[in-house]
Homo-oligomer: A and B are copies of this chain.
Amino acid sequence: MNYTHTIPPQTGAAFELKKGNTLTVLDPRGQQVSDMVLFNKHDLKEKISSGKTMDFEESILLSTGNFLWSNRSNKMMEIKADTNGRNDFLLAPCSPETFQIMYNESGYHPSCLENLHLNLKSFGIEIDDIPTAFNIFMNVQFDEKGRLKVLPPTSKPGDLVRFTAEMDLIVGLTACSAEDSNGGTFKPIHYVITEGDGF
């Protein structure tokens, strides 16, 4: 039986995922974003790249059948299932400065960047090494002029995205901390690791 891990609201997790194994990221309550970053376990300078992924996949939007690529032009993951169908790979993880600059928050605010770093630092990853994340369930709309608007996720309770690892990975994953990205409330994220393709 596969254990379901819970990432509490506005926190994160980091873990290893072996090549060939499957990570399922679930939104148990709906309308909750999860930022994901990937590193080559055997050489942390190789990491997920939005620029390389959009180039090779020839798309801004990524879903079932697409691969996530590294800065060294290697496949890191394949998206095997996506019951919601809307993810984002344009915007960087929310950070303390996101809330200061965009939302005029003067006090402390939890953020995905801090939560990714808190969990990844034990693997030797520094905050400056964290790249633009693949933002699971995030609903960033764009128009023909390129203008961006962050809307609440379209994910319903139980929606999931399933990934298989194309190399041994260190994965960082959050339950996103930004009001605007999550329909105004903060919910947990669940994840399950299974051997093989998970079916």
Residues of A in contact with B (beta carbons under 8 Å apart): 45-46, 49-52, 54-56, 58-61, 71-73, 90-93, 95, 97-98, 101-102, 126, 128, 131-133, 142, 144-149
CA distance A97 to B71 in the complex (A): 11
Quote the shortest CB–CB distance from A84 to chain B (angstroms).
15
Contact B144 A55 (CB under 8 A): no
Residues of B near A97 (CB, < 8 A) are 72-73
- Summarize A's interface: helix, strand, loop or mixed: loop
Known: A73-B98, A128-B72, A142-B60. A55 touches B147 (CB 8 A): no
Residues of B near A144 (CB, < 8 A) are 144
Contact A51 B91 (CB under 8 A): yes
Quote the shortest CB–CB distance from A197 to chain B (angstroms).
24
Contact A147 B58 (CB under 8 A): yes
Contact A59 B132 (CB under 8 A): no
